[in-house]
Amino acid sequence: MPANLPPEYKAAEKRFKAASTVAEKIAALEDLISTVPKHKGTDHLRADLRRRLSQLNKESLEQRKKKGGGRDSLYNIPKEGAAQMALAGFANSGKSSLLASLTKATPVIADYPLSTLLPLPGMMPYEDIQFQLVDLPPIANETTDGWVSGIIRIADGILIIVDLAEDALIQLELILDQLGKWNIRTRPEKSDEFRGVTRRAVVVANKKDLPGAEENFGKLKEGFGNFYPMVAVSCLRKEGLEDLKREIFSLSGVIRVYSKPPGKPPDLSRPFTVPVGCTVTELAEKIHKEFVMKMKFARIWGSAKFEGMKVERNYVLKDRDIVEINA
């Protein structure tokens, strides 16, 4: 065994040896591989660990085939709520702490890197709707890059987490660079050659309670404040979390619309969440396809010039509108 392995290797090796199921062994071995430094002295060790990981993957796949599933189900997070937001950041940036602060999820929160081994979702309440947040292993971990990038690509938005105790500006630059390597961009650009996906993002500057955080946040805003919404938070002190919730709602690109049966009060307990720019016709399709054919007119309370105003089928709805569809 190479003599220059870091202390994290022994801790990860201990967790790997203590793992009992194949799934636990895979997660622990991925953690173990990530602690091995890259140089000639560790080439054989890394190759051996990858061979063992490959074998465990085969065992896992066979087990899941027998049960009617597949290994991808470990990393498949079905979307729930109004929108799904992926948490992207480096080790110990506070992603798991943020998830725990905003949702009822119970991630492993630890000082050692890579305490997050598998995707972990949690539901964040915002007024009368909920958003799904998905905690992920750190960016630039070669053992998980494939499926981490896959989850980010299908998410509706990205929360980029940076640590204000360190140089947050460099962290953001590195994260954006890695996203670019995955063909994920966070700002629309005019390029006919781009074949990737574009996802909106908000920068979450964590640990605002620590010394030097205010100065680091100032540099961050100076460098990227014109390109991304930014919120400074402290999970420890529960500061900035409500501001972040509002930014997540804005980032999602959805609005809330309430239905009102003719002659009855509106149902304000269960709003429809629809994309910004949704029309009355599109809402009718979402409620029931037959409504589109039978609809004669609609009335709007909220964004209309006066309450209960008749509107055309192509009327563009706004957040918190109440809609009455008359057939």
Distance CA 112, CA 146 (A): 23
pLDDT score for 254: 96
pLDDT score for 60: 62
Domain ranges for the chain: 7-73, 75-252, 254-326
Per-residue pLDDT reduced to its tens digit, 276-294: 999 999 998 888 777 778 8
> Measured between alpha carbons, how far is residue 33 from residues 2, 109, 147 in Å?
14, 20, 16
Of residues 162 and 77, more confidence is placed in: 162
pLDDT bracket for residue 105 (50, 70, 90): confident
Strands (E) across 141-296 are located at 157-163, 184-185, 197-198, 201-206, 230-232, 254-259, 272-275
pLDDT score for 55: 79
- Answer yes or no: is pLDDT of 111 > 70: no
- Answer yes or no: is pLDDT of 81 > 70: yes
Distance CA 129, CA 246 (A): 12
Provide the β-strand partners of residue 234: 239
Residue type at 56 in one-letter notation = L
pLDDT bracket for residue 71 (50, 70, 90): very low
Average pLDDT, integer, range 155-167 = 94
With 0-12 CB in 10 A as exposed, 13-18 as middle and 19+ as buried, what is 28? Answer: buried
> Measured between alpha carbons, how far is residue 173 from residues 31, 83, 160, 170, 248 in Å?
25, 26, 11, 5, 21
Average pLDDT, integer, range 62-77 = 58
- Answer yes or no: is pLDDT of 315 > 80: yes
- Answer yes or no: is pLDDT of 227 > 50: yes
- Answer yes or no: is pLDDT of 57 > 70: no
pLDDT bracket for residue 18 (50, 70, 90): confident
- Ranked by mean pLDDT, the top range of 42-51, 75-84, 132-141, 318-327 is 318-327
Q: In sequence order, what DSSP letters do the residues of 65-112 get, joined into one string?
A: HHHT--GGGGS-----SS-EEEEEE-TTSSHHHHHHHHSS------SS
Average pLDDT, integer, range 193-205 = 88
Mean predicted lDDT score pLDDT of the chain? 85
For β-strands 309-311 and 297-301, DSSP reports them as: antiparallel
- Those residues whose C-beta lies under 8 Å from the C-beta of residue 117, and which sit 6 or more positions away, are 27, 28, 30, 31, 137
Q: Phi then psi for 244, rounded to 5 degrees?
A: -65, -40
Residue 230 CB neighbour total at 10 angstroms = 19
Per-residue pLDDT reduced to its tens digit, 20-33: 777 677 777 777 77
pLDDT score for 200: 95
Distance CA 273, CA 305 (A): 23
Q: At what angle do helices 168-181 and 213-224 cross, to 10 degrees?
A: 40
Strands (E) across 106-149 are located at 120-126, 129-135
> Are the folds of 75-252 and 254-326 the same?
no
Per-residue pLDDT reduced to its tens digit, 262-273: 889 998 888 999
- Answer yes or no: is pLDDT of 205 > 70: yes
- Answer yes or no: is pLDDT of 114 > 90: no
Conformational region of residue 144, where left means phi above 0, alpha means psi within -120 to 50, and beta covers everything else: alpha
pLDDT score for 69: 46
Say which CATH class 75-252 falls into.
Answer: alpha beta
pLDDT bracket for residue 117 (50, 70, 90): low
Helix (H) or strand (E) holding 145: helix 145-154
Superfamily of domain 254-326: Beta-grasp domain (3.10.20.30)
